[in-house]
């Protein structure tokens, strides 16, 4: 990880990505974006109401943001591809977050269909950020077919349970070249900081901000937590020693031999 | 295996005995659990759980917020026709009722669609009475094809179809299916449905599953509350929803809780469902099925609907007309003559959205994008 976040050649100013679902009022969104300093903002195409301007969530997103439409509602690769194309045709740019969910009970992503959709959309010239269940082989495949970043879940969407998949995400961070962005499950600013300290390039937060009593303040707190976690990672955290230093080392005899 | 097998398994269960042996500790323990099993759900529908409504409401609100956020989806129904061949004792469209029968032609449907779309709706629920002759699948399909020009999501609430017929309508643009069993108790079902194809309990019971198999994105089920002991009916509705959720993971399952309303005909409800009963059903359903949509229609009065929102409602109809052709031209005389049941909440769309904003909820008109 470097000091700057670059995705598909584009520099991104903030490591906090923001989702726009679940807010009590769309008019809160600009204020949340401003206070949290989020730059990449994801919007479900299925919620974009092109018929009514005051209803259209896109109109609440400042121009200097990177709009990342997502394919929420897609149950397979084919639907995700269709949704991405509709979004691009509607002028939402080339970025797309692939979200393929065929499980309405836990809302877990379908990794297999996600790979298929990613491959197709990369070929169509999209900047593709797939949301996935953290699995190394899948992440490698996504990278191979051209994903611009890989977005493993920290915990199932909307659960606010924090970084439950930490060990798996850690492996992705170690093994995958493209940025790892932790998406879903981040419930508290400290969870976001934890993901960043681990070496994630960014985190995406939605439910925890949208359903807080004060989304603007919590958004700001998330922005700060992400920055703090990132700084801590760059600074190199003090190592936690798993084993205490033994007063009678087991290998001490190796040095003693020299005195014989 | 279909849900019918599950129904049969529970049909002769000693509900009264189970409810009687429950004590406060049982209910409290259930409320402390994160996941509820079938018997836990049944316990929350019991008379013993009635004094725990506030606690249930607190938990239901948290769960709903987590899974759906501060958002309520809005839609409105469009009645295409009221021809019906069934004799259902509780329904205003009963073939024996001497009402003006009507079926909209395509240009009339277009006018209705325009009027509804102009109110801001992007999701529509189309309804017909049950008459394969007057409103065949072909007619419904043509209507759907026309409606795709106006709406982003089209749901149907029509007579039960075969899988290939559902597939045909999905190909035309339908994405959601609403079908109520009306009464899960099979004996009572037989008593209330005197004549017509609707007498076939099993075919209707399996219709939501056929919809899932055909590829519906969303399926909405319910029992008409008042036709039979509401506690049992709510129980069967809940386990039916659970069955669909477990077997068709990619389908969004939701529940409606329609209560009997005044209608033409003399049938009176057998089981009175008070407001607190309705609340208990909604709360128990939310705790049992945290991810299921909960729908409240304009059958219910405005003040009650407003209070139910924070308890777990995710979907509401607004400005609904249950008469055929009620939107493009406002004709109150026609409304009275051809409507299926009386509306209790007559507020306009603006009034409903203003109310939602005041309560801190975002009204959402669009939650799908038709391909």
Give the mean pLDDT of B132-153.
96
Question: Which of residues 183 through 202 in chain A touch B, CB cutoff 8 A?
Answer: none
Question: Which of residues 102 through 161 in chain A touch B, CB cutoff 8 A?
Answer: 102-105, 107, 158-160
CA distance A207 to A157: 8
Among chain A residues, CA nearest to B66:
A158
pLDDT at res. A259: 53
Close Cβ partners of B98 (under 8 Å, ≥ 6 residues apart): none
pLDDT at res. B306: 93
Backbone phi and psi for residue B126, each to the nearest 5 degrees, phi listed first: -100, 140
Which of the pair, B328 or B257, is modelled with greater confidence?
B257
- Whether A26 sits among the annotated catalytic residues: the reply is no
Indicate if the pLDDT at residue B333 is higher than 50: no
Q: What is the pLDDT of residues B143-156, one digit of tens each?
A: 999 999 999 999 99
Which among B152, B362, B371 has CB closest to A25? B362
Average pLDDT of every residue of chain A: 89
Indicate if the pLDDT at residue A257 is higher than 70: no
Indicate if the pLDDT at residue A180 is higher than 90: yes
* Of residues B39, B134, B83, the one with CA closest to residue B324: B83
Is residue A200 within 8 Å of A192, Cβ to Cβ?
no
Indicate if the pLDDT at residue A146 is higher than 60: yes
Is residue A150 within 8 Å of A181, Cβ to Cβ?
yes
Is residue A152 within 8 Å of A136, Cβ to Cβ?
no
Task: Give the whole-number percent of chain A exceeding pLDDT 70.
Answer: 93
Give the mean pLDDT of A199-214.
93
Give the Cα-Cα-Cα angle B188, B239, B255 (nearest 5 degrees).
85
Of the candidates A22, A26, A82, A97, the residue annotated as catalytic is: A97
* Of residues B55, B25, B18, B88, the one with CA closest to residue B286: B55
Is residue B149 within 8 Å of B104, Cβ to Cβ?
no
Q: What is the pLDDT of residues B253-300, one digit of tens each?
A: 999 999 987 666 666 777 788 999 999 999 999 999 999 999 999 889
CA distance A206 to B327: 38
pLDDT at res. A243: 61
pLDDT at res. A31: 93
Is A22 part of the contact surface with chain B (CB cutoff 8 Å)? yes
Is residue B109 within 8 Å of B80, Cβ to Cβ?
yes
The two three-digit tokens of residue B40, written as one number: 């836990």
Indicate if the pLDDT at residue A260 is higher than 70: no
Helix, strand, or coil here: A74?
Answer: strand
Q: What is the pLDDT of residues A45-88, one digit of tens each?
A: 888 887 777 778 888 888 889 999 999 999 999 999 999 999 99
CATH class of residue range A5-235: alpha beta
Q: What is the pLDDT of residues B198-243, one digit of tens each?
A: 899 999 999 999 999 999 999 999 999 999 999 999 999 999 999 9
Indicate if the pLDDT at residue A143 is higher than 50: yes
**CB-based contact B120 A52, cutoff 8 Å:** yes
CA distance A216 to A34: 9
Indicate if the pLDDT at residue B332 is higher than 60: no
Among chain A residues, CA nearest to B61:
A211
The two three-digit tokens of residue B50, written as one number: 């009635």
Indicate if the pLDDT at residue B45 is higher than 70: yes
Neighbours of A4 (CB within 10 A): 8
The two three-digit tokens of residue B152, written as one number: 């982003």
The two three-digit tokens of residue B304, written as one number: 């009650």
Indicate if the pLDDT at residue B16 is higher than 50: yes
Indicate if the pLDDT at residue B54 is higher than 80: yes
Helix, strand, or coil here: B233?
Answer: helix
Is residue B198 within 8 Å of B86, Cβ to Cβ?
yes
Q: How many residues does chain A have?
A: 260
Indicate if the pLDDT at residue B55 is higher than 70: yes
B338 — pLDDT class (breaks 50, 70, 90)? low
Q: What is the pLDDT of residues A233-248, one digit of tens each?
A: 988 875 555 566 666 6
Name the residue ranges covered by the structural domains of chain A.
Answer: 5-235
Q: What is the pLDDT of residues B92-131, one digit of tens each?
A: 778 877 888 899 999 999 999 999 999 999 999 999 999 9
The DSSP secondary structure of B50-105, one letter per residue, reads GGGHHHHHHHHHHHHHHHH-SEEEEEEEEE-B-----EETT-TT-TTS-----B--
Give the mean pLDDT of B12-24.
96
Backbone phi and psi for residue A257, each to the nearest 5 degrees, phi listed first: -55, -30
């Amino acid at each position: 990880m470097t000091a700057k976040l670059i995705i598909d050649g584009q520099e991104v100013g903030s490591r906090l990505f923001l989702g726009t679902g679940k807010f009590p009022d769309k008019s809160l969104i600009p204020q949340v974006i401003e206070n949290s300093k989020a730059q990449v903002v994801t919007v479900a195409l299925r919620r974009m109401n092109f018929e009514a301007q005051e209803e259209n969530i896109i109109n609440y997103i400042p121009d200097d943001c990177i709009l990342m439409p997502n394919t929420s509602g897609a149950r397979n690769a084919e639907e995700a591809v269709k949704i991405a194309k509709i979004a691009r045709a509607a002028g939402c740019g080339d970025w797309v977050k692939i979200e393929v969910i065929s499980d309405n009970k836990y809302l877990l992503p379908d990794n297999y269909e996600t790979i298929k959709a990613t491959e197709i959309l990369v070929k169509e010239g999209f900047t593709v950020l797939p949301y996935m269940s953290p699995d190394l082989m899948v992440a490698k495949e996504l990278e191979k077919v051209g994903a611009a970043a890989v977005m493993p879940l920290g915990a199932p969407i909307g659960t606010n349970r924090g970084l439950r998949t930490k060990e798996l995400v850690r492996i992705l961070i170690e093994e995958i070249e493209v940025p790892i962005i932790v998406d879903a499950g981040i419930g508290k600013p400290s969870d976001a900081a934890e993901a960043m300290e681990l070496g994630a390039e960014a985190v995406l937060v939605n439910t925890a901000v949208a359903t807080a009593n004060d989304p603007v303040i919590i958004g700001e707190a998330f922005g700060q937590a992400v920055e703090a976690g990132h700084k801590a990672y760059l600074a190199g955290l003090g190592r936690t020693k798993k084993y205490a230093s033994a007063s009678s080392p087991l290998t001490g005899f190796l040095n003693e031999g020299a005195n014989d | 295996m279909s849900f019918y097998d599950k129904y049969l398994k529970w049909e002769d269960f000693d509900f009264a005995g189970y409810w009687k042996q429950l004590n406060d500790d049982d209910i409290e323990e259930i409320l402390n659990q994160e996941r509820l099993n079938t018997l836990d759900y049944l316990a929350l529908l019991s008379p013993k759980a009635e004094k725990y409504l506030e606690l249930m409401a607190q938990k239901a609100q948290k769960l709903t917020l987590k899974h759906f956020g501060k958002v309520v989806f809005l839609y409105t129904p469009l009645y295409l026709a009221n021809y019906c061949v069934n004799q259902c004792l509780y329904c205003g469209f009963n073939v024996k009722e001497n009402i003006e029968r009507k079926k909209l032609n395509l240009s009339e449907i277009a006018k209705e669609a325009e009027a509804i779309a102009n109110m801001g709706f992007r999701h529509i629920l189309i309804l017909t009475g049950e008459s394969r002759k007057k409103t065949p699948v072909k007619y419904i399909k043509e209507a759907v094809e026309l409606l795709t020009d106006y709406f982003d999501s089209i749901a149907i609430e029509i007579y039960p179809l075969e899988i290939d017929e559902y597939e045909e309508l999905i190909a035309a643009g339908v994405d959601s299916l609403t079908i109520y069993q009306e009464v899960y108790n099979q004996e009572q079902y037989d008593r209330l449905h005197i004549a017509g194809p609707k007498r076939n309990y099993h075919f209707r019971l399996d219709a939501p599953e056929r919809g899932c198999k055909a590829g519906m994105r969303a399926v909405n089920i319910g029992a008409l509350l008042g036709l039979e002991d509401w506690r049992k009916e709510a129980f069967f509705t809940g386990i039916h929803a659970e069955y669909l959720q477990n077997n068709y993971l990619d389908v969004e399952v939701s529940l409606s809780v329609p209560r009997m309303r005044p209608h033409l005909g003399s049938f009176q409800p057998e089981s009175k469902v008070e407001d607190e009963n309705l609340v208990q059903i909604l709360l128990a359903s939310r705790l049992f099925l945290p991810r299921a949509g909960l729908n409240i229609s304009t059958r219910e009065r405005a003040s009650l609907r407003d209070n139910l929102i924070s308890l777990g409602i995710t979907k509401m109809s607004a400005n609904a007309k249950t008469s055929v052709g009620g939107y493009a031209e406002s004709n109150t005389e026609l409304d009275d003559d051809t409507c299926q049941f009386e509306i209790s909440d007559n507020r306009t769309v603006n009034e409903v959205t203003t109310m939602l904003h005041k309560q801190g909820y975002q009204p959402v008109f669009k939650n799908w994008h038709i391909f």
